[in-house]
Amino acid sequence: MHGGRANTAERSARRGRVIAVHASVVDVSFDSDPPPVYTVLQAGLDGGIVIEVLAQLDEQIVRGIALTPTQGLARGAPVVDSGRPLQVPVGEAVLSRMLDVFGHAIDDGPALQNVAWHSLHRSPPRLAERVSQAEVFATGIKAIDVLAPLERGGKAGLFGGAGVGKTVLLTEIIHNMLGRDRGVSLFCGIGERCREGEELYRAMQAAGVLADMVMIFGQMNEPPGSRFRVGHAALSIAEYFRDTGKRDVLLLIDNIFRFIQAGMEVSGLLGQMPSRLGYQPTLGTELAALEERIANTQRGAITSIQAVYVPADDLTDPAVVHVFSHLSASIVLSRRRASEGLYPAIDLLQSSSSLAMPGIVGRRHYAIAREVRRVLAQYEELKDVIAMLGVEQLSIEDRRRVGRARRLERFLTQPFSTTEAFSGLAGRQVILADALAGCERILRDEFADIPEQALYMIGAIDEAGRSQPAAVEAAHAS
């Protein structure tokens, strides 16, 4: 033990010198015993330029990627070996704080105190430590829990463009989880715009969910090395709360494609031969090293929801294909549904989950979800006929199908707690049993005689029953 600490201290005092600088790539020469891969080197005034060793070129020269801008760095500049890998602060003190990849607070708050520091580079849990039983992660959001249930300790992809309610949906899931489980939420912004990070921080603060949340950002203007490592930093914090705090963690990543993109930039800077479509040859390995740390163990679980950008809407893009292989659920947001005011704007037919099987969610849940999808699919097929000829030209049975589908669409809308100030509607959390009961009763045509609007923006189906007289009266008046 003492000898190991002495060796580290001796190595940390070791100095080298810069022999080449190519953008973010820095070559450093040491007289002997060059530092191992992933060691942090410091250069510039007060060690402000941080370099992570990624390759050893020979017995004296190492090549690293700078995690900070390299302006002012010149050949011959002294470099100090820190003797350690990149680390991030962990502990209760990081809750409600906004950090960068180095663990520095960027929210204008006081400096972090009483924190431990953990390495960014950690191995995934061993197979013996993992819990293999599939377990549903309830969100309190009807459309997700019924049609695309999330997996506790699993990964879900959130597909959606700007303005369709992606951030609102993420905020509501955080709000529901913290109110129910007292878990920890962690938002990781990879390649985020500065404006987006600031707006999200204010939104979380206004929603009252910041006290049990950590936010960590690698902003869009930062070097690729910083953006490439911020995901690992977020996971190290999440692992602390799972393994030491024994708490469930909800990890939100926006955007996982930018992690791959940063790795592609780093690979190109290091001179590696590109693979298909210019991606790095180590794409699969790098993504798996990050994704496999998101796991359900006997101590707790890290459940991840990841925003996924699809380049040119091409689902065969190598980055998208590799991400898909790690996901257990896909939630697709629809701009058309958002324009119709059907919030959350989840595409009920495109969204799916590998947990939607009788052996996992149960036979009743599976049967109801399957029938809901069938009715909605029939409605989609009839929409062209309705647009050309009108609903009056449909058969009686088709009109009933259309009525069921439209009532299901409206029942699967839901007011959110995080939007109360804007909508004036009190937020609702709906347990799975109530959501399934509502869908089942609509499928049995129990609500065929009341207006569709009576099912819009409610919680459990009983709320439509209570508002039924007023809704029918309004319909008659119109």
User: CA-CA distance, 147 to 138, in Å (whole number)?
Assistant: 12
192 is catalytic: yes
Of 166, 229, 258, 407, the catalytic one is 166
81, 333, 454 from 429: Cα distances, Å: 52, 20, 18
Strands (E), 10-127: 15-22, 25-30, 39-43, 49-56, 61-66, 78-85, 87-90, 98-99, 116-119
For CA atoms 271, 323, 204, 134, the dihedral sign is negative
User: CA-CA distance, 131 to 165, in Å (whole number)?
Assistant: 33
227 is catalytic: no
374 is catalytic: no
SS (H, E, C) 422-461: HHCCCCCCCCHHHHHHHHHHHHCCCCCCCCHHHHCCCCCC
Hunting for tokens 């951030």 — which residue is that? 167
Of 192, 222, 286, 409, the catalytic one is 192
Alpha helices (runs of H) in 325-362, residue ranges in sequence order: 335-339, 358-361
The pair phi, psi for residue 107, each rounded to 5°, is -110, 15
Of 193, 370, 383, 444, the catalytic one is 193
User: CA-CA distance, 296 to 129, in Å (whole number)?
Assistant: 9
The residues annotated as belonging to the active site are 166, 192-193
